[in-house]
Amino acid sequence: MSTATVRVPAKINLCLGVGPVREDGYHPLATVYQAVDLHDEVRATSRDDDAITVAVHSELDVRSESVLVPEDDDNLAVKAARLLRETTGVMTGVDLAIRKVIPVAGGMAGGSADAAAALVACNDVWATGLSRAELEEIAAQLGSDVPFLLHGGNAIGGGRGETISPVLARGSYHWVFAMAHEGLSTKAVYAEFDRLNDGSRVPDPVVPDALLAALRAGDAEALGDALSNDLTEAALSLRPELQDTLEIGIEAGALGAILSGSGPTALFLASDEQHSLDIAFALSSAAGCADVVQSRGPVTGARSTS
């Protein structure tokens, strides 16, 4: 029996440009991803038979998130293991144990992170020997964010988010995340985006030059000004109270404040550790805020710890 443990980060989108809905139902994206220091862990243990099982343990004491994460074949980590097995012809089963810290349905790609970690862990315990590039191809079939979570760091995301290309970036950034009491379905937010834009011409998405310049310079203040998210209106339409959370962070002096991906997690950029502590303190008493987490980015993608 062989075991591998993989740590995988959450992602944020420093900008999220969303284009007109495609024929396959997805939206073309122009985004810059950053992997942040908020990690799930997936342990894979090979089995004697061909079963694939999953158990989820939540580290989040505020909400019983594990209740929301399916512990069956609908779990994205199980889908990842199945797809790797189909691709490589392996016959062995695996037990997957997920330690969840990334918020569920929080706009931080928690499910996709577990899928990325399961690919790396199963590739290890099954000794399938796939390269990172081969794993990235499988990852793209599992979800739009999964290839980036293998990669980590900073990257430009194109296509529906699954096409990753390098971006010149410097610096380490201080983030504060405000987790909401209840998750938001990514699908529902994109559907609301379509509803709000019905009848209007949605332009093709672009990554703003100001954001790329800020990252190249490692300039936190300029990055704060350049943060953007085209899903804001749709997410706020479904959760108007998120506006209050964003405003509390801005009043506390955040360099920038946006929703993370499709929300509802709100993210705030701070200039240093003390500033991040001040913003976290201001948010901790906000009514819409279930939990506040200080974090750093960028960090590496899914990596084996054993």
CB of 7 to ligand C5P, least distance (A): 21
CB of 74 to ligand C5P, least distance (A): 12
Binding residues are 103-113
* Cα(70)–Cα(49) distance, integer angstroms: 22
Binding residues for ATP are 103-113
Q: Which of 143, 249, 261, 298 binds ligand C5P (CB under 6 A)?
A: 143
Give the pairing type, strands 154-158 and 173-180.
unpaired
Q: Could you give the string, one character per residue 161-200, with x where binding to ligand C5P holds by CB under 6 A and - elsewhere?
A: x------------------------xx--x----------
Residue ranges in the chain assigned as alpha helix (H): 76-88, 110-125, 132-142, 146-151, 186-196, 209-217, 220-226, 232-238, 242-251, 273-284
Q: Does 13 bind ligand C5P (CB under 6 A)?
A: no
Q: Does 17 bind ligand C5P (CB under 6 A)?
A: no
Give the pairing type, strands 94-100 and 173-180.
unpaired
Residues in contact with ligand C5P, total (CB under 6 A)? 13
Amino acid at 121: A
Give the CA angle between residues 9, 303, 187 to the nearest 5°.
40
- Per the listing, tokens 């959370």 go with 245
Q: Could you give the string, one character per residue 23-62, with x where binding to ligand C5P holds by CB under 6 A and - elsewhere?
A: --xxx-x---------------------------------
Q: What are phi and psi of 131, to 5 degrees?
A: -75, 170
Binding site residues, ligand C5P, CB under 6 A: 25-27, 29, 112, 143-145, 160-161, 186-187, 190
